[in-house]
Structure 1
Amino acid sequence: MKTKQLFLGLMLSAMVGGGVAVGSYKLLDDDRPTSESTLPNTNVRYTSVMRDSKVIVPEGLNFVTSAELVTPAVVHVTTEYKVQARRMPNDIHPFFRDFFGEEGMEGYQRQRQSPAQGSGSGVIIASNGYIVTNNHVIDRADKIKVVLDDKRTYEATLVGTDPNTDIALLKINADNLPALRYGNSDNVRVGEWVLAVGNPFNLNSTVTAGIVSAKGRNVGILQESAGQYSVESFIQTDAAVNPGNSGGALVNLNGDLIGINTAIASQTGTFAGYSFAVPSSIVSKVVDDLLKYGEVQRALLGVSMQEVTADLAKEKNLKTLNGVFVYQMPDESAAKAAGIEVGDVITQINGVKVNTGSQLQEQVTRYRPGDKVKVTFLRGGSEKTANVTLRNAAGNTEIVKRDPNSTKSLTIDGAKFEAASKQELNKLDITGGVRVSGVEKSQFAETGMKDGFIITSIDRNPTNTPEDVQKILKGTRKGGLLIEGVYPDGRRAYYAIGR
């Protein structure tokens, strides 16, 4: 009997153990992904089960929406430059030709013509192909290409540039493009979150985040290249910006364009904590001028100024530490004509407070010659106002505008003359010129002039249009003329013709 009970006990234990084993297997198996497939090993997996990773962020602090909106409208701008080198004169002595050899001479020419390349960013501001970038991104480029976020590539034409603000406008032949809208940079506050979008180190569509750390910042980088009329009133941020970001977008969390990334503060050439962007208030005005007039209309108050400091206030017995001190102005100054005097302290432009020269420049730059602004200033402790009619650099209120009705080309004495393109002018660093072609079959052949030569002046008279050339040549009855100009490779030349 005992043997029978022992046998039944062992059988019961085996059944319980088997049940536990099967139950445990099923319990573990329920955690594995199931499949309707009848193939073997359908439950094999090589990663852990991943939970839902949707991140919930505080309302108003969401970079994702802005990044998704902005990225398609930021483009990669690539440029190509012909490497300039000393040219071998045509009448080089045979000894030197023997020294270099024909193969060496050919190699020299190939080296001279090898293109260099550059890279930057741009922002589509109109769905029909207008793109804003920095002037220094495309400066003197022979060829400009634009690569969209979806990898489509276009050759771009240069509409116009403004070295004073480091802004350039490009155009590509495309429609229905994603475009950014301007945000009001005046409303941007220090401490506000912003995103920088561009192509640093050729890393396409890179987005970085930071905050606005200062406004109205002047760092002196444009004055070296653009001169006394440069305008610097940058938005300063700590969003990471590196070479290749130039010309890219600085946007707020709504995806509105509040600036064009332009420069970094660095001792190494790479990001070291601060970057600078041209505010949209300046960008939009420059773009509008280039589209309407072909030239930027620069309005000037006409004063030399300096920031009011404690030392200056003590020296000049000023009653305030706010505003900018007027220490000099020319006779043709718009400010002088309105009654402002040396020694006055300008505190507001149209109700906007100005405490630095860069802040004053930013306000005045928004206007054109002939526009009126209300200037508030202090004199002897008393506040006064003056309605100032702004003037241009020549001291008048004229608007400089390209004549859209001017003849694009003229044939004179058998040669064809046409105005040089904006891209050619920018590349060669000249303000105007007329390109000539068909020289060999014209009366200009005997001068030695070659096709492609850009005439900048005749007898020191500037030539900006074919009509200028025609007028000068027709107005000369006897004697010779000196033609000055430059070839596309940068080589300057002079030719004499008799009339």
Structure 2
Amino acid sequence: MEGRSRTSRIAPSHLLAGAIGGLLSAVLVVVLALAGAVDLGETKEVVRERTIVRDGGHGLDVTDIYKKAGPGVVYVEAQGGTDTSPFGLPSPGEEASGSGIVIDRDGNVLTNWHVVEGARSINVRFSEDGPQVAAQLKGRDPSSDLAVIKVDPDKAGRLVPLPLGSSAKAKVGDPVVAIGNPFGLSRTVTTGIVSAVQRQIQAPNGFTIPNAIQTDAAINPGNSGGPLLDAEGRVIGVNSQIVTGGSRGSVGIGFAVPIDLAKRLLPQLKRGGVVKRAYLGIEMTTLTPQLAQDLNLPIESGALITSVVPRSPAAQAGLRGGRTRLDNGLRVGGDVIVEIDGRKVRSAEDVTAIIGARNPGDTVRIVYYRGRQRRSANVRLGTRPARVATPSAEELPSPLP
């Protein structure tokens, strides 16, 4: 997601988690960021939708991919749930539905956390006319919107695990296939291309999921948790969100959680419990050359800290956020991170990636600029809280007169 210049404004888009069939409504969400930090980025709306159930002219043998991957895509039904998610999760007593990906023959199924969050019971169907099989929630990571549920393999019948590919190898223009259960229509196939890579999307708990894949393959409510497949039928992403433009369905832009992130988390998710993630505790935006010039900084790129969460690792290390707010709402005057553990930082996304690869308790050396002065600090990372913490009122800057 592109960084903001000082003349840009935060542009909210209607983001809809593609999961809760029939129960979702479009919600206004500003995409934020980080593994313990929040990147004030910008989202864009698109204007077209395409639903293709056969070869869409991209050279794909969609029929073969469907035959190969279809049996590994399941229909997930969650009874009950919470109504606290910004993605329109159902009220208690209602039923949510989504999709899931069979990942092994032991009965583990990967899906989105927002599909099963707060559910009193979870059931899985492995075919349209097959019986329901009870599933148990194993592990969850709200910060990546991923969860693993488990069924008894003896009751599930023949399990067909899907091969996991590499989201890092996905390139703009690559053909892709999405399989899921939109609006309860089981194993619906749509095709498209990779529209963009390295996007950032907001998780249900307010943190940012980095390196998301953007696609124009039609994704609708009920697709959440289903696979985004490459031309070889390998999973490169977990379909999670769409831009709705105020409608209830796809308008041609969807997002998938990168499978590389899921693969890194799967061992913890299968063990059970909540995944522990590293936490820095800042809000930030990418420093552009124009903004650096306007602020009279001796650098042209980096991650500008706009605010620091009180008592967070960043606050304890002495990092500072902006104290002046421009007329476009951007907070300036904060420290600018340019390096972490010897790795150059040219954008807020770089901080997201570096901190996201660390563990709670790790110590990182952060090099930053305060005005024109270069400084450094050793920061011991904490454990990410359940939800994004916001700066206290006294930490928020006042607008310019």
Please tell me the TM-score bracket, short chain as reference. 0.5 to 0.7
Per-residue CA shift, 1:416-459, capped at 9, x if unaligned? xxxxxxxxxx9xx9xxxxxxxxxxxxxxxxxxxxxxxxxxxxxx
- 1:126 is aligned to 104
Out of 150, 155, 164, the residue aligned to residue 134 of structure 2 is 155
Query: Could you say what secondary structure the match of 2:292 adopts?
Result: helix
Is the Cα–Cα contact under 8 Å of residues 73 and 99 in structure 2 kept in the other structure?
yes
Q: Which amino acid aligns with 1:355?
A: S
Are 1:210 and 2:192 counterparts? yes
Pairing of 1:60-71 with structure 2 (within 5 A): 61-71=60-70
Q: In structure 2, what is the Cα distance between the partners aligned to 1:156 and 1:164?
A: 22
* Residue 355 (structure 2) pairs with residue 364 (structure 1): yes
Compare CA radii of gyration and give the structure with the larger one.
1
Shift of 1:157: 0.9
Query: CA–CA distance in 2 between the matches of 1:272 and 1:157?
Result: 34
- Contact kept, 8 Å, 2:74 with 2:100, in 1: the verdict is yes
Mapping 1:312-323, distance limit 5 Å: 312-323=291-302
Structure-to-structure mapping, 1:2-17, within 5 angstroms = none
**Which residue in 2 is equivalent to 1:474?**
none
Question: Do the aligned residues in 1 keep the contact of 2:281 with 2:309 (CA within 8 Å)?
Answer: yes
Q: Name segments (4+ residues, structure 1) moved above 6 Å.
A: 336-341, 378-387
More strand by share: 2
Residue identity opposite 2:171 in structure 1: R
Matched residue of 2:275: which SS? coil
Which residue is equivalent to 2:41?
Answer: none
What is the SS of the residue equivalent to 1:189? coil
% identical aligned pairs: 34
1:355 equivalent in alignment to 2:309: no
What aligned pairs does 1:165-180 form with structure 2 within 5 A after superposition?
A: 165-174=144-153, 177-180=159-162
Contact in 2 for aligned 1:246/1:262 (Cα 8 Å): yes
Q: Which amino acid aligns with 2:357?
A: R
Q: Using the TM superposition, give the Cα deviation of residue 280 of structure 1 relative to its aligned residue in structure 2, in angstroms.
A: 1.5
Instruction: Tell me how far apart the structure 2 counterparts of residues 365 and 348 of structure 1 sit (CA, whole Å).
Output: 12
Structure 2 Cα separation of the partners of residues 312 and 120 of structure 1? 43
TM-score where L is the length of structure 2: 0.64
Task: Give the equivalent residue in structure 1 for 2:26.
Answer: none
Give 1:74's aligned residue: 73
Query: How far did 1:305 drift?
Result: 1.7
Asked if the contact 1:180–1:256 (Cα under 8 Å) also holds between the matched residues in 2, the reply is: yes
How many Å separate the matches in 1 of 2:365 and 2:209?
20
Distance 2:344 2:66 in 1: 32
Return 5+ residue gaps in structure 2 as ranges: 1-54, 84-91, 321-333, 388-401
Q: 1:344 aligns with which of 328, 336, 350?
A: 336
> Which position in structure 1 is the counterpart of 2:248?
269
CA distance in 2: counterparts of 1:350 and 1:65, whole angstroms: 46
Partner of 2:221: 243
Check whether the contact 1:73–1:149 (CA below 8 A) recurs between aligned residues: no
> Aligned residue for 1:252?
230
Instruction: State the 1:164 CA deviation.
Output: 2.5
Distance 2:66 2:230 in 1: 10
Q: Does 1:324 align with 2:306?
A: no
Tell me: CA distance 1:292–1:79, structure 2 relative to 1, closer, same or farther (3 Å): closer
List gaps (5 residues or longer) in structure 1: 1-54, 85-113, 395-425, 430-499
For 1:195, the equivalent position in structure 2 comes to: 177
What number of residue pairs does the alignment pair up?
A: 306
Q: TM-score, normalised on structure 1?
A: 0.53
**1:276–1:240: structure 2 CA closer, same or farther, 3 Å change rule?**
same
Secondary structure at the aligned position of 1:66 is classed as: helix
Secondary structure of 1:155's partner?
A: strand
The letter for the 1-side match of 2:144 is T
Q: Report the structure, 1 or 2, having the larger helix content.
A: 1
Following the alignment from structure 1 to structure 2, what is the Cα–Cα distance between the partners of residues 330 and 141? 31
Q: Deviations over 1:203-241 (max 9, x none)?
A: 221221111112232355x3xx414x4545421111111
More relative contact order, 1 or 2 (CA 8 Å, 6+ apart): 2
Give the secondary structure class of the aligned counterpart of 2:264: helix
CA distance in 2, matches of 1:120, 1:161: 16
- Alpha-carbon separation, structure 2, partners of 1:231 and 1:133: 15
Q: Residue deviations 1:249-277, cap 9 Å, x none?
A: 01212222221101110120101010011
